[in-house]
Structure 1
Amino acid sequence: MNNIFVDANRKQIAGRRRIDFTLRLLFLIATSIGVIALMALLIDIISDGISMLRPELFNNFPSRRASEAGMKSAIVGSLYMLLIMAPLSFLLGVGAAIYLEEYAKKNRITRMIQLNISTLAGVPSIVYGILGLTLFVRELHLGRSLLAGAFTMTLLVLPIIIVSAQEAIRAVPKSRRDASYALGATKWQTVSRSVLPSSISGILTGVILAMSRAIGETAPLVMIGALTFVAFLPTGPMDSFTVMPIQIYNWVSRPQASFQALAASGIIVLLVMLLLMNLSAILLRNKYNKHM
């Protein structure tokens, strides 16, 4: 009887191991397909665009001649838009997260607001472009300006920042808050001197990753009328502008092989900028985690 039970147990264990091996193999194949496709795309882009990575790409304005074309106005436009977006998104997003986590009562209205914010984080970006066109370009009469583009992209990244900041604040142990209250601190003193310093690494990581998503978006800016050919630098927030993804789109749409190579070089520049932003998020997170 014992032998029968042992044999059945062995067969059951062997069956589980076969299932485990099969699932591991399927997961490995699925991961490999994504990695191989990504590597193939990167190799193709680098092989096409490495020859066009020259100083003129950063110093020249767009031109109808590929040999003289650059993306100076697009790079500066992207940086200007980030300079407007970053502080605005940080203040609004982190402020909303602090209110929802620390001050708002946990009732039906709060849960509904939280559900709407989580839903907005997954809305297609083109919807924010339509909203920006209606609200900022037409209703507020900002026109097709850098300020309208920055405000539209702020709406795009706000739900992401709010959700990530809430998660970072929620991860702070309740004991830290209780210790602060026990020492006689007020609510705001507890939030500003205990909760925020403990969660700042997660908050900054979420903000930087949201900014890196915004810098690669094209659809909302196309909707509000960002130009595809800008041969000047914006001097103020109400000037016309372009950004790197739109400039790359303009080059890709041209049939000449030289513009295709120029678009590939622009993609390389954009990828490097995104990698640097993601790297800075990792370094900031590690730096603050060491001090905790």
Structure 2
Amino acid sequence: MNSLRTNRLLDTSFKYVGIFATLFGLVMLAIFIFNILGDGISRIDWDFLTSLPSRRSSKAGILTAWTGTAWIMMLTALIAIPLGISAGIYLQEYGKKNRLAAIVEVNISNLAGVPSIIYGLLGLEIFVRTLNMGSSLLAGACTLSLLILPVIIVATREALKAVPNSLREASYGMGATKWQTIWYQILPAASGGIITGVILALSRAVGETAPLIVIGALAYVPFVAQSPLDEFTVLPMQIFNWVSRPQKGFLENGAAAIIVLLAITFCMNGIAIYFRNRWQKKINW
């Protein structure tokens, strides 16, 4: 009886602690967004989105920053998505279930928690110095691809695990090969979970600054990147550059750029939530 009461008391305590932590986080987020909107919403207009950086806060814009972010997102997606999904499919559907596979699985999960600056140092040594890519968009995209690959691999594996084995057995019973079963049955059933993991991984890459600083990305770029080998900047670095200045005008610019970055992140997370809910309904059905 005493242990049962203790367990109930612990369950109740954890429940209220979780509710309090959630409410506290929501309140802090609301305060942050309210302050940012108050400081920067009046600064957002077409000129702000289409102007180059400037030493005058009233003329400075985020054209080079958001185009650099778009370049990085596109290149990172082109590199990381095929590799991550392919690796996840191989490890889950083709890899042998032995001790070595267990060690690989644990290490992939651990890599998802490695500080991002470590990936920046790795990218600096491999892509910037060894492969002579310099401080280019391609070097930045390759570095961020290493950062999000573990997330995509883990998400792909979990989505594939959630597909019922009866679907595989039915496909094999109809005479389909293993690859035909994966391509026409397993991947469509797991697509929602895979897409969710990919979008969340890319949304993490959008907000990263440390790896890009390490590989030599610039805080001030007076031109729009035209190719993957051009130098670049991104929204987080532009925000850091502005908020580190004492002038009030640049602080307002930084707040406006934060609003744009938050809008991109919220949109990506909203899309991920939509696909996750749609996938869960399909699995439950």
Query: What's the TM-score, normalizing by structure 2?
Result: 0.93
Counterpart position of 2:245: 254
Counterpart position of 1:279: 270
Q: Distance in 2 between matches of 1:12 and 1:145?
A: 61
- Of stretches 270-279 and 280-289 in structure 1, the one that deviates more from structure 2 is 280-289
- Which one of the candidate residues 73, 83, 89 is aligned to 1:82? 73
User: 2:193–2:275: 8 Å Cα contact kept in structure 1?
Assistant: no
Counterpart position of 2:206: 215
Q: Distance in 1 between matches of 2:35 and 2:152?
A: 34
Counterpart position of 1:91: 82
**Structure 1: runs of 5 or more not aligned:** 1-8
- Paired residue secondary structure (1:239): coil
- Paired residue secondary structure (1:179): helix
- Paired residue secondary structure (1:199): helix
- Which one of the candidate residues 126, 130, 136 is aligned to 1:145? 136
Q: Distance in 1 between matches of 2:221 and 2:43?
A: 20
Q: Distance in 2 between matches of 1:16 and 1:190?
A: 46
Identity of aligned residues (%): 49
Counterpart position of 2:228: 237
- Show the 5 A alignment for 1:85-124: 85-124=76-115
- Paired residue secondary structure (2:120): helix
- Of stretches 87-96 and 29-38 in structure 1, the one that deviates more from structure 2 is 29-38
Cα deviation for residue 161 of structure 1 reads: 0.4
Q: Distance in 1 between matches of 2:21 and 2:65?
A: 36
Counterpart position of 1:228: 219
Aligned residue pairs, count: 283
Q: Distance in 1 between matches of 2:275 and 2:8?
A: 41
| Max Rg structure | 1
- Which one of the candidate residues 191, 201, 205 is aligned to 2:196? 205
Q: 1:249 corresponds to which letter in structure 2?
A: F
Counterpart position of 1:189: 180
**Structure 2: runs of 5 or more not aligned:** none
Query: What's the TM-score, normalizing by structure 1?
Result: 0.91
CA RMSD, Structure 1 to Structure 2 (Å): 2.0
- Paired residue secondary structure (2:237): helix
User: 2:193–2:279: 8 Å Cα contact kept in structure 1?
Assistant: no
- Show the 5 A alignment for 1:117-132: 117-132=108-123
